[in-house]
Amino acid sequence: MKRQIQLKWFITLVLLSLGIVLIIGYSFLSANYFILGMDNMIASNMEQAANKYFSRATTQNKHPKKYDGYPVSQHWLGQPENILKLFNEAPEENGTLYKVENANNQKAIKGIYFVMKFNSRNQTLYISHHLSKATVSNMVHQNLIRSLDNLVIISILSMVSFSIIFWFIMRRVSRPVSALGKWTQNLNTETLTEPLPDFSYTELNDMARLIQNSLSSVQQSLNREQRFLHYTSHELRTPISIIRSNIDLMHKLQKNVLSIDDPRQKQIFDRIDRASMNMKHLTETLLWLSRDDNEELPQQTIQLDELIQQITRDTEYLLKDKAVKIELKTEPCSLSLPKVAARIVLGNLIRNAFQHTYNGTVQIHQQGNRVDINNIQNDSTQHNEDLGFGLGLQLTVQLAERLNWVYSNDTRSDHYGTTVIFCTHDDA
């Protein structure tokens, strides 16, 4: 397995290596320019000595061997023995400084040697110079050492300064990155909805926002799936109960060997068929509600008053052994609606009104596309905490919002009322 390295250590090693290489390189470059400056000064002095030599030789008509301490000759062999020994041949280019550094054990020729060739007034001139610790004055020697020391000190200080600045920059960068990593590790369903922390840099904040949005999308998908499971188990209880009770009734009828034309068998089959179809349509509607697309449910013309009456009849078993009065008022109304969704909403409201009323009146009033359902308790102290719908209410609210239906509720100590206004495409 390939060994991995942390990103911050990789960047640290790369940038530190680059900084050290640059500092060392510039230090050598500075030393090289320092030596080049010294060479230029010596070359300038040698050129001035050569010009003065030509002038003196013309006016006095003689050729001195030295001028201002520089050995001068018109012939290469006229140079000192040390120069001839170190330089194998005479310089070829005019005005170019030739230099040889010699540090062998022969003290007589130890040091730095310079040679230049000059052509002037149809004459060739060779001039040389020997530079060593013995020939350099103490002041020049001290200045040279001081300059080199300054160069070393500046290089060291530059390296230390670069390291400090680099450490500070890496600290400023690594701390927000580490904070982003810890924040990501601690994300859960609760912290996911909290405001984003400030990670100091736009790129890190954008990355945190992207992570939050991605995880929020995943969380929303999980929530939809969980709601679908809850809704499915909640909504399918009634049709499953109807099917099971009718199947039990069929077994009893078979034991009594009733005629196949018995009307009670037809009623049982009709209930089973209707309950199974309701289960099918409920599943399709709940699947549609759990999706995040814009697909619409199929519309069909329904008689709202007949649908309310049918749901009321199917759920009257919930009032068995209860002192509850039903007050049902409807009027003919034909609407183009998703029938299954309307059945879920109305079934939830009526079923929960029946379930949570123990001694009182359930009012179901329908006028046009408006339906009002109220469950009124005669004894407000009995089961008061059970007023309300729970999961069925959540499903009703979500369906109403998705289909642009108007839904509202009113809760009191002895009263729970709901209102639904079914809006069609024409109303929208």
Q: How confident is the model at residue 290 (pLDDT cuts 50, 70, 90)?
A: low
Residues 6+ apart with CB under 8 A from 193: 216
| Bridge partners, 114 (sequence order) | 99, 129
Q: Would you tell me which CATH number, out of the four given (2.60.260.20, 3.30.565.10, 3.50.50.60, 1.10.3720.10), belongs to the domain 297-428?
A: 3.30.565.10
Burial 116-153 (b: 16+ CB within 10 A, else e): bbbeeeeeebbbbbbbeeeeeeeeeeeeeeeeeeeeee
Measuring CA to CA, which residue among 382, 328, 332 is closest to residue 350?
A: 328
Residues 359, 397: contact at Cβ < 8 Å?
A: no
Residues 72, 126: contact at Cβ < 8 Å?
A: yes
What 3-state DSSP class applies to 37?
helix
Measuring CA to CA, which residue among 376, 367, 382 is closest to residue 410?
A: 376
Tell which wins on pLDDT, 103 or 308. 308
Beta strands in 285-333 (DSSP E): 300-303, 323-329
Q: Dump pLDDT digits (tens) for 32-55.
A: 777 788 788 888 888 887 777 777
Q: What is the DSSP string of 231-265?
A: HHHHHTHHHHHHHHHHHHHHHHHHHTT--TT-HHH
Q: Dump pLDDT digits (tens) for 50-91.
A: 777 777 655 444 555 676 778 888 888 888 888 888 888 888
pLDDT at 194: 76
Measuring CA to CA, which residue among 224, 222, 219, 265 is closest to residue 246?
A: 265
